[in-house]
Structure 1
Amino acid sequence: MQSQKPFFDDLARVASGALGALSGLRAEMEAMIRQQFERFTASLDMVPKEEFEVVRAMAIKAREENEALAARVAALEAAFVAAPPAKTKAAPKPKA
């Protein structure tokens, strides 16, 4: 049994080294994939999320203001139609 112990120790060290190398390779592959993805998205000229959210908020505010103004115009039109026309006095003719 004594002769097999160094064998298993060596095998454990080799396996540990292989796992360390694989984890390093995995990190390097992830970095390469991330870099390729960033290069791809940069070539698409995509808008960052922060800018998109700002423009979206502006559009929502503009839509709300437009709806409020449309309601105000409708109310003014209804008041104008419902009100009887006001009689105006004819301006007196100037004497010559």
Structure 2
Amino acid sequence: MQTRNPILDEFAKLTTGAMGLAQAAGDEAKAAWRAQTDRFVAEMDLVRRDEFDVLKDEIAALRAELAELKAQKSNVKKTSSGPSTAAAPDADTAG
């Protein structure tokens, strides 16, 4: 048979209240820390990941286009730097 002890009941209530207060303080500390870090990151003017990925893709496309243009330029130089066929007579007709 259990008997109710008012001292133990009060101690249980006090302990429960202290645990609730500790949990609320922990939640408040987390919220304050999160707000502080968000403010710090905002002050650093960092780029978001999705913006970084878009810019990275644009740069890759520009590099590919630049490589293609360089290849076209080198092909044009190769064809124009060779001997001109219009200035030299053919070997069979020079006879």
Seq. identity, %: 29
Q: Secondary structure at the match of 1:35?
A: helix
TM-score computed with the length of structure 2 as normaliser: 0.66
Aligned to 1:32: 32
Aligned to 2:49: 49
Aligned to 2:80: 80
Kindly report structure 1 stretches of 4+ aligned residues shifted beyond 6 Å: none
Matched to 1:48, the amino acid is R
Matched to 1:56, the amino acid is K
Unmatched runs of 5 consecutive residues or more in structure 1: 89-96
Q: How many residues align?
A: 87
CA displacement, residues 26-84 of structure 1 (integer Å, 9 cap, x when unaligned):
11111111111122222222222222222121111111111122222223323333x43
Q: Secondary structure at the match of 1:61?
A: helix
Matched to 1:54, the amino acid is V
Aligned to 1:93: none
Unmatched runs of 5 consecutive residues or more in structure 2: 88-95
Shift of the 87–32 alpha-carbon distance from structure 1 to 2, 3 Å rule, reads same
Matched to 1:17, the amino acid is G
In the aligned structure 1, how far is the partner of 2:42 from the partner of 2:29? 20
RMSD: 2.6
